[in-house]
A and B are shown apart, each in its own frame.
Chain A
Amino acid sequence: MDAVAATEQDFRPPSLRKRLSMALENPTFLGFLFVAPAELLLLIFLAYPLLLGLWLGLTDTIVGREGNFIGFQNYISLVHDASFWLTVFNTFLYTLVAVFFKLILGVGLAVVLNRDFKGKGLMRAIVLLPWIIPTALSAICFWWLYDSTFSGISWTLIKLGLMDHRINFLGDAWNARWSLIVANIWRGVPFFTIGLLAGLQTINPDLYEAAEIDGAGSWARFRKITLPLLMPLLTVVTVFSTIWTFADFQLVWVITRGGPGGATHIFGTLSFQRAMSGGHFGEGAAISNFMLPILVACVFIAFVFLRKED
């Protein structure tokens, strides 16, 4: 009797509800389902725009109307544009100098903060402040600090007798460049510091003791133990910082808008000016696209470097 009843039940096809709940137990189905929202958002607002940007660079789109395909014309006219080359120069200068100093200061600060001392937690929190405060707000602050007439820096330097006239921070091309670099360093060091501090804490302290007994002084310990072991993390952090600095926008835009006379334009600000203020989407996109090969190269170099270290 029971056997018959059992087989009868087996032949009924599973209800929709049962099928759904079974599917939800399947890791593959559930996995796809779970990833879907993120994937969808990123596809629409990241992947698609990326490709669209490449396309736009090849058109003469102006804001509001569709553009026509014009091939590489945008790129050609940029290559002949002096202000474009100035921008290229600026971006590389800005990135290389700022990242270099952020690295040195970040490592140094991380080593200093790695020791045990009272108020270490508070110190760490303070050190992170420039990174936490929205960049635009601290940029506004630097904007004011760099005012040619009322700058507190000028005043202090003159009072200390180190200068005899006020510095024209933002009106002179080279001054403006250094001013921006300093602001960028101010903002970016915490990222290096906190990241490297974490890395330092993963190094087995026994190694330092063994090295000390082996005869290594503190500089030798740093060079032979700390640095090599920190390399992988250092590489990752530096690559991130390079990409972000290279593709920066708000700091430069808020403080100088790319001036004076386009002397401090970087890719981001020039692209914005041409596209938003000027309305030339196509041209703006072309400028932005110039950044892509550099960024890809950065990531590639980082991967290769990390593979080698392993």
Chain B
Amino acid sequence: MAEVRLENISKHFNKVIAVDDFNLSIKDREFVVLVGPSGCGKTTTLRMIAGLEAITEGNIYIGDRLINRLPAKDRNIAMVFQNYALYPHMTVYQNMAFGLEQRKAPKEEIKQRVREAAKILGIQDLMDRRPKQLSGGQRQRVAVGRAIVRKPEVFLFDEPLSNLDAKLRVQTRVELKKLHERLATTIVYVTNDQVEAMTMGDRIVVMKDGLIQQVGAPLELYNSPTNIFVAGFIGSPAMNFFEAELVHSGERLSVQTDSFRIDLSPKKAALTEGYSEKKVIVGIRPEDLLEAREHVTGKTIQTTVEVVEPIGSEIYVNVSAGEVPLTASVDRKARVKPHQEFVVEPSLDYLHLFDIRNENTLS
């Protein structure tokens, strides 16, 4: 059983609170991603699970065991470091065998397990080489191999792809995901790349300044972010945000800026019940801003194109609606040019409304 439970975990470094009241229950075989900007506490949390940092407050359980004071080597976990931490004076084989040798496993067993892991990762031909003779991608595999040889209860990954070039990163992502299916073990994965988080995690934990912002499945976070931070962090290009006034006109509720007005659907309007402020922050993703043929007040926004970024599969159009900058993601065949007029229609069902005081989503 390899459930991991973190209860009220906090970490203080002198006066700095790196992790604040972190609560999470990870199910057996789940792939959980901790994601957030630098300094949000995700790596510190991971290291507390590993036993490389002492816990200031709270409890961590692996299965039924309380592991707070257990030294790292007795926790039956394996970790892949950001810089791989391969032993430079040992061959690939020795690097992978090290953990088992320390646990006094019989030689035959070690040989067999290392070979098995090497095969899975495709590094059988590199066994006699030293780390400095390997490419970045190869080193990364050895680091992963070293971890899987141990057959631990939990795998910990600390930004393992950040040192790979973009193409290799995409490739390796897929392979790690396949590995997870094959090994069927609990994984806790730290990254600052939201694409990695979205594509790999069963569940994602978004962190900021030591606090959990939201926990949920990828699409849950994408569709129903609980605050502006999560909404802006997940999804690329990022969600558009602008301040608007809530305007009632009879039955109709609209959000209005200096240059345009959008009438809200009844469903969305209902979200503002109990909200007493006059202003609200509106969020709409670029992919939810559609190109419209003509302008209809209350439904569409008239904009001027500033910059056009064709990335091949689609086109990112950076426009300005008066003082409000927006990014729309449109079809790759669209004909858009800078300085021309461009009308966008926000998809009403995908509009997000945020409390202007605390930046939480209105619900």
Chains A and B directly touch (beta carbon < 8 Å): yes
Q: Which residues of A contact B85 (CB under 8 A)?
A: 204, 206-207, 209-210
Stretch in contact with the other chain, from A104-112, A192-200, A223-231: A223-231
Q: Which 9 A-B pairs have the closest CB atoms?
A: A214-B99, A206-B85, A215-B102, A210-B85, A215-B73, A228-B89, A212-B72, A216-B102, A213-B79
Interface membership of A243, Cβ < 8 A: no
Are B102 and A214 in contact, CB atoms less than 8 angstroms apart? yes
Q: How far is B72's CA from A214's CA once the two chains are assembled, in angstroms?
A: 8
Please tell me if the beta carbons of A217 and B73 are within 8 angstroms of each other in the complex: yes
A209 to B: closest C-beta gap in Å: 5
Given known contacts A206-B81, A210-B79, A224-B98, is B73 in contact with A216 (CB within 8 Å)?
A: yes
- A220 to B51 CA separation, bound complex (whole angstroms): 18
What is the bound-complex CA distance between A210 and B75, given in angstroms?
13
Q: A206-B83, A207-B87, A212-B52 are in contact. Are A220 and B102 (CB under 8 A)?
A: yes
Kindly provide the distance from the CB of B6 to the nearest chain A CB, expressed in whole angstroms. Answer: 18
Cα distance, A211 to B101, chains bound together (Å): 11
Interface size class of B (residues with CB under 8 A): 20 to 34
Given known contacts A207-B87, A229-B88, A229-B89, A212 and B73 CB-to-CB distance under 8 angstroms: yes
The docked-state distance in angstroms from the alpha carbon of A211 to that of B51 is: 12
Residues of chain A with a CB closer than 8 A to B52's CB: 209, 212-213
| Docked CA distance A107–B79 (Å) | 30
CA distance A216 to B103 in the complex (A): 8
Residues of B within 8 A of A210 (CB): 79, 81, 85, 87, 146
A213 to B99, CA, bound (A): 8
Are A213 and B98 neighbours in the complex by a CB distance under 8 Å? Answer: no
Contact B98 A211 (CB under 8 A): yes
Q: Mark B76-114, 1 if CB is under 8 A from A, else 0.
A: 011101010101110000000011001100000000000
Alpha-carbon gap, A206 to B163, bound state (A) = 15
B50 at the interface (CB under 8 A from A): yes
Q: Which chain B residue lies CB-closest to A210? A: B85
Instruction: Return B143 CB to nearest CB of chain A, in Å.
Output: 9
Cβ-defined contact, A225 with B87, below 8 A: yes
Q: Does B208 contact A (CB under 8 A)?
A: no
A229 to B72, CA, bound (A): 23
* Chain B contacts for A211, CB-based, 8 A: 87, 98, 102
Assess the A213–B50 pair: CB atoms within 8 A.
yes
Docked Cα-Cα span, A210 to B146, in Å, equals: 10
A215 to B83, CA, bound (A): 19
A209 to B79, CA, bound (A): 9
Contacts A206-B81, A209-B50, A214-B99 known; 6 new A-B pairs at CB < 8 A: A204-B83, A210-B85, A210-B87, A212-B73, A213-B52, A214-B102
- How far is the CB of B226 from the nearest CB of chain A, in Å? 34
Which A residues, 212 to 263, have Cβ-Cβ distances below 8 Å to chain B?
Answer: 212-217, 220, 224-225, 228-229
A215 vs B97: C-alpha distance in the bound complex, in angstroms?
A: 11
CB of A142, distance to nearest CB on chain B (Å): 40
Could you tell me if A214 and B146 are in contact, using CB atoms closer than 8 angstroms? yes
For chain A, the count of residues having a C-beta within 8 Å of the partner chain is 17
- Secondary structure class of chain A's binding surface, majority of residues: helix
Choose from B73, B83, B87, B89 the contact partner of A213 (Cβ within 8 Å). B73
| Chain B nearest Cβ from A308, distance in angstroms | 13
Please report which residues of chain B, range 36-85, place their CB below 8 angstroms from some CB of chain A when the two chains form the complex. Answer: 50-52, 71-73, 75, 77-79, 81, 83, 85
By beta carbon, the residue of chain B nearest A227 is B89
Closest residue on chain A to residue B150 by CB atoms: A214
Chain A residues with Cβ below 8 Å from B99 are 213-215
Q: Which B residues touch A217, using CB under 8 A?
A: 73
Given known A-B contacts A220-B102, A228-B89, A229-B89, A214 and B73 have beta carbons under 8 A apart = yes
CB distance from B30 to the nearest CB of A (A): 21
- 7 sampled A-B residue pairs with Cβ under 8 A: A209-B85, A210-B85, A212-B51, A214-B73, A214-B98, A214-B99, A217-B73
Name the residue in B98, B103, B150 with the highest tally of chain A Cβ atoms < 10 Å from its Cβ.
B98
Complex contacts, B51 vs chain A, CB 8 Å: 212-213
- CB–CB B102/A213 < 8 A: no
Nearest CB in chain B to that of A207: its residue? B85
What residues of chain A lie closer than 8 Å to B146, measured between beta carbons?
210, 214
- Residues in B neighbouring A216, C-beta threshold 8 A: 73, 98, 102
Among A206, A212, A214, find the residue whose CB has the most chain B CB atoms closer than 10 A. Answer: A214
Residues on B with C-beta less than 8 A from A215 are 73, 99, 102-103
- CA gap between A207 and B87 in the complex, in Å: 7
* CB proximity of B363 to chain A, nearest CB, Å: 42
Flag if A213 contacts B88 (CB, 8 Å).
no
**CB neighbours of B72 from chain A (8 A):** 209, 212-213
Q: Which residues of A contact B103 (CB under 8 A)?
A: 215
Complex Cα distance, B232 from A72, in Å, reads: 89
Contacts of A204 in B (CB 8 A): 83, 85
Question: What residues of chain A lie closer than 8 Å to B81, measured between beta carbons?
Answer: 206, 209-210
Measured in the bound complex, the distance between the Cα atoms of B78 and A228 in whole Å is: 23
A228: chain B residues at CB < 8 Å are 89
Q: What residues on A are CB-neighbors of B77 within 8 Å?
A: 213
The chain B residue with its CB closest to the CB of A205 is B85
Distance of A205 from chain B, by nearest CB (Å): 9
Cα(A17)–Cα(B150), bound, Å: 75
Complex alpha-carbon distance, A215 and B77, angstroms: 10
